[in-house]
Chain A
């Protein structure tokens, strides 16, 4: 791996260099708006100001991969985002919803994030960046990271083309993870040297914590519990719309069969005596969890987007993780690894069918 250690203040030059030297045609990167953080699509390098104050900011609003979903364009887009967002972008590449040659994936270390409204409201306490000790301290004050972040074991910048890792103090390591990434950094004007990012011990510690937090989440383990869990769902399908890996152009649940109305609905009610309306609440969530079961990157955008505050992290990421364990598949880890449903082995899985 080739990279270089930079002061926070020098990061601005890296992003400007990427645009200036036409390494990318535009960047999707966080920007600060008052106390909040949101994304911007930037083409003019002069619009980039003090990126070090936002790229590490522990705030999660939308999944950046959802912005570029379906962008089959020739121009090159650089995406500066958290590991879960970059992993979603890699899944989109595999799902042919994103052109691999037209993106430069720049992953930033994440220590866990707060929902963006929580971040903005508590900006004075949280600040521009946090580490695990700070997160514990904030939890003591009742300011907690999102459930999805608490159970995340993939928050170090080790996917995509370029990693921006926190190196302690006000320093960051910028390194190319792929040949494409190294070339991009050189072209942006950085002088690179051999750099090893050995963070196996840290990764293990995060994984152990994440596992403990996952086990601490309440389980949905019966039909009654599932009904209870989804009781307040209004089938607005927001969780689908914000999901970076839910990508069908025409969703079944937007079509007459999946979203019956009028006479169709009356016929269904005739057959069963009475039906729940809005209809297909359970069918929608069961079908959707199956659809994203192998590609869910556990970003938790679904929970954030739920207008009824249903803690969907206990449903989508938790169930998807179990399916991913069956296929020994980590979404977004390797762009070359085929999606589980597009490949098979002749002798496998019989124990799952019993």
Chain B
């Protein structure tokens, strides 16, 4: 792993919707856009499947970063799934902000045609998390 070479390679867990961001990642790949391989994507059918517990669990188990990404509001494959998801994500992030845990959690809207945006977002989040350093919970007994 990167760490052995001296640098810190963050592990990032991404919860992405099947119709937009996951397809956007596919497009980034088929368009040969380069981006850091730090994110592990978990495909959901819709961001409305996202349960904030997923993010809590990822962080507590030592993920250095977590992000949620899906269709732009108003463009959900299931018409309104991401509107509900947005409310849940807002509640989750409000709680995490109060507890000072929010800086490792991100959320984006990336559509299936935004392969370039996906690649750039992965670059940015990897850099941001790299600057934060390893998640202190990784080595704790939790």
Stretch at the interface among A55-63, A131-139, A289-297: A289-297
Chain A contributes a number of interface residues (CB within 8 A of B) equal to 39
Which of B57, B84, B87 has a CB less than 8 Å from the CB of A283? B57
Report whether B89 and A353 are in contact in the complex, using a CB–CB cutoff of 8 Å. yes
Residue of B nearest to A341 (CB): B87
* CB within 8 Å of A: which B77-118 residues: 80, 83-84, 86-95, 98-101, 107
**A258: shortest Cβ distance to chain B, in Å?**
9
Contacts of A221 in B (CB 8 A): 98-100
CA distance A344 to B80 in the complex (A): 9
* CB within 8 Å of B: which A260-294 residues: 272-276, 281-283, 286-287, 289-290, 293-294
Residue of B nearest to A220 (CB): B99
Report whether B53 and A294 are in contact in the complex, using a CB–CB cutoff of 8 Å. no
**B54: shortest Cβ distance to chain A, in Å?**
10
Which of A272, A281, A294, A347 has a CB less than 8 Å from the CB of B91? A294
A275-B141, A344-B86 as given contacts; A326 in contact with B53, CB under 8 Å = no
Report whether A349 and B90 are in contact in the complex, using a CB–CB cutoff of 8 Å. yes
Report whether B95 and A319 are in contact in the complex, using a CB–CB cutoff of 8 Å. yes
Which of B61, B83, B93, B141 has a CB less than 8 Å from the CB of A344? B83
Report whether B74 and A275 are in contact in the complex, using a CB–CB cutoff of 8 Å. no
CA distance A323 to B90 in the complex (A): 8
CA distance A293 to B100 in the complex (A): 17
**A144: shortest Cβ distance to chain B, in Å?**
25
**B3: shortest Cβ distance to chain A, in Å?**
16
Contacts of B60 in A (CB 8 A): 282-283, 286
Report whether A353 and B107 are in contact in the complex, using a CB–CB cutoff of 8 Å. yes
A276-B141, A352-B90 as given contacts; A344 in contact with B95, CB under 8 Å = no
Residue of A nearest to B89 (CB): A353
Report whether B91 and A290 are in contact in the complex, using a CB–CB cutoff of 8 Å. yes
Say yes or no: is A170 at the interface (Cβ < 8 Å to chain B): no
**A272: shortest Cβ distance to chain B, in Å?**
7
Contacts of A71 in B (CB 8 A): none
User: B80, B89, B98 — which one has the most chain A CB atoms within 10 A of its CB?
Assistant: B98
**B136: shortest Cβ distance to chain A, in Å?**
7
**A254: shortest Cβ distance to chain B, in Å?**
15
Closest CB pairs A-B (n = 9): A344-B83, A352-B90, A222-B100, A286-B56, A349-B90, A274-B141, A353-B107, A287-B53, A323-B91
Q: Which residues of A contact B (CB under 8 A)?
A: 219-223, 225-227, 252, 272-276, 281-283, 286-287, 289-290, 293-294, 318-319, 322-323, 326-327, 340-341, 344-349, 352-353
